[in-house]
Copies of this chain bind each other. A is one copy, B any other.
Amino acid sequence: MSKPHILTFETYDDWDSEPMRNCFTVHQFPVSGNLQELDQGFREQIKAFAFKGHSILGAEIIDGFPNLELIANYGVGYDTIDVDYASSKGIRVTNTPDVLTDDVADLAVGMLLALNRGIVGADAWVRSGNWASNGAYPLQRTISGVAVGIAGLGRIGRAVASRLQGFNTNIHYYSRSEKDTPGWSHHNDLIDLARSVDVLIVAVSGGPETEKIISKEVINAIGADGLLVNCARGSTVDEEALIHALETKALRGFASDVFNSEPDIDKRLLTLDNVLLQPHQSSGTVETRMKMGQLQRDNLLAFFGGKPLLTPVN
């Protein structure tokens, strides 16, 4: 039996590309991004994409593959995929949720602790070799007893909150409806949440609905003694308002794994001393990337085997 044909976008680690080639006949989407480099006859053969969500996957590409039935995304976020358009053409979309939840929540808590305790600067303080002559590192701030707000109590928000409970923090959260939680305080207004906490952690989904929901007003409501941590999508934050707040010390600090226009991020962020910057590595562990690749392939195999998709998003 011949292997089903799939089209891949971007590159994969060896531990993914080898099992992928064992299961499928793998074709590569042109690096140029120009689908016309693939001839019409070839494109008609393609029923499924193995997608990585770094580029825009909209109507133009979708229409280029008249027999496309599945877009299997590698990653939990699928905001670069036009899911509505895919749905309108009867094309299914899958993602890789759950397997990366722990890693994303771990990095969110790690970013918060590192920012609040000045861990990056403290490492440089020692490595300079001048600890003895420079004396004690400047005092930082405590986490205990602090009120932490989680914007979005989906899988990731809940995992972040669960971790932070152990740090003697008071958990507040924003979501459209109140959830079943162990005594966490619900807010149905994001500004109200921001006013009530010292630390705001963004854990909402990406996409047009949450674009710049961390607005100038929300940032001001966190306040000059507060911190903002983003483990969601760069698009959720009004970065212009954020940078202004950081430059004028209207916000104490900002830690983020995601940015507008990443990886080519706003250069003003690079020199601020009250920020912690991470290169979109929330799910970037060997263990989790292996699970993400496996889940992507399992969705593709389910599709070609006529079985129910494991983690559909539409």
Contact = CB atoms under 8 A, between A and B. Distances in A.
A125 B279 CA distance: 7
A277 B132 contact: no
Contact of A102 (B111, B122, B143, B287): B143
Interface in A104-126: 106-107, 109-111, 113-114, 117-120, 122-123, 125-126
Contacts of A286: 139-142
Contacts of A135: 263
A165 interface: yes
Interface stretch (A27-35, A58-66, A226-234, A264-272): A264-272
A163 interface: yes
Contacts of A271: 127
Interface string A34-74: 00000000000000000000000000000000000000000
A111 to B, nearest CB: 7
Contacts of A132: 263-264
A278 B137 CA distance: 9
Interface residues of A, number: 57
A60 to B, nearest CB: 24
A298 to B, nearest CB: 20
Contact of A287 (B127, B142, B167, B279): B142
A173 to B, nearest CB: 16
A270 B106 CA distance: 27
Number of chain copies forming the complex: 2
A220 interface: no
Nearest to A110: B113
Contact of A285 (B111, B140, B165, B281): B140
Given A113-B106, A119-B114, A139 B285 contact: yes
A168 interface: yes
Contacts of A110: 110, 113-114, 117, 119
Q: Which 10 A-B pairs have the closest CB atoms?
A: A110-B113, A126-B277, A102-B144, A131-B263, A142-B285, A142-B287, A166-B166, A163-B166, A132-B263, A137-B279
Interface of A: 13, 102-103, 106-107, 109-111, 113-114, 117-120, 122-123, 125-127, 129, 131-132, 135-137, 139-144, 162-168, 262-265, 267, 270-271, 276-281, 284-289
17 contacts: A102-B168, A107-B113, A107-B117, A110-B119, A117-B281, A118-B281, A119-B276, A120-B123, A126-B278, A129-B267, A136-B279, A137-B278, A139-B284, A140-B285, A142-B285, A142-B286, A144-B287
Given A132-B263, A144-B287, 5 more contacts: A103-B142, A120-B120, A132-B264, A135-B263, A140-B285
